[in-house]
Structure 1
Amino acid sequence: MLARMAHEGMRAGDGDRQKVAEQLREALDQGRLDLSEYDERVQRAYSAKTYGDLKGLLDDLPGTIPVENAQIEPHQPVAKAEPRHGHGHGHGAGRSGFPGILGVFLVCVVIWAMSGADYFWPGWVLIPVVWALVAHFRDRGKRGH
């Protein structure tokens, strides 16, 4: 009990006030609060100096966690995935973009043929196709095929 009283007297931070305000906005969006009640509670939340001042703003709303029961968990960095090396055809590192760029080129050729244009503009798309083809065969030796 003494710990709870001490907690209520502790100073609230900007993040604490913002968290309560976000939960109040969600309650407004769900129709649990009318606009005037939301405005009153948000003003109280942003003017709160202690956790005790924030107490009661969320107590009658379902699905919200009162500030004194909230638990802050430290951020856990995400481990970087190791690049895959193998002979599979998955979306691993080192896979060339040749099949994709070739598909784009073929679509452009079909559009050119259907449009009846005299100038063969898909030739410009052929430049990255050639680059992708060169990269494909250059990387093929490095992958051990």
Structure 2
Amino acid sequence: MPQPHLRAADADRAAVVTRLDQGLADGRLTLAEYEDRSARAHAARTYGELDGLTADLPSPAPRPAPVAQAVYGGPWHGTWGHDLRTAWTQWAVTAVVVVGIWLVSMLATTDLQYPWPVWVVGPWGAVLLARTLGERHTLGRRRPGLPV
């Protein structure tokens, strides 16, 4: 906590009451202790007054992230840590550039040239498509109410 003489905000008081709620639910506080500490938390003006109310309670355990968020970082984040929207945008920009270069080279010569851009954007697009479909399928199966 910040320095004990500084004034506490409503959010600070609410956080302390939340920890007291958990202490009561865990059986670490009696109802009388909870009511006393909760009333003092609501009346506290400084961090020092709040700090003593939870000093004998263990620190709250960090909450685990939901499975989909832990694995994918959200609905559009892939397993490689890249945002799929960004990956598709990069693919599209690259496709436009290489096809543009190919078209300019076609117009500059009279010969029909091999369509080499398919080897640049084709495999990359196939991998992105597989990732997108696979991740959407996996995320869809992890939604509550759907069989896993």
The TM-score normalised by the length of structure 2 is: 0.44
More helix by share: 2
Whichever of the two has the greater Rg, that structure is 1
TM-score by length of 1: 0.44
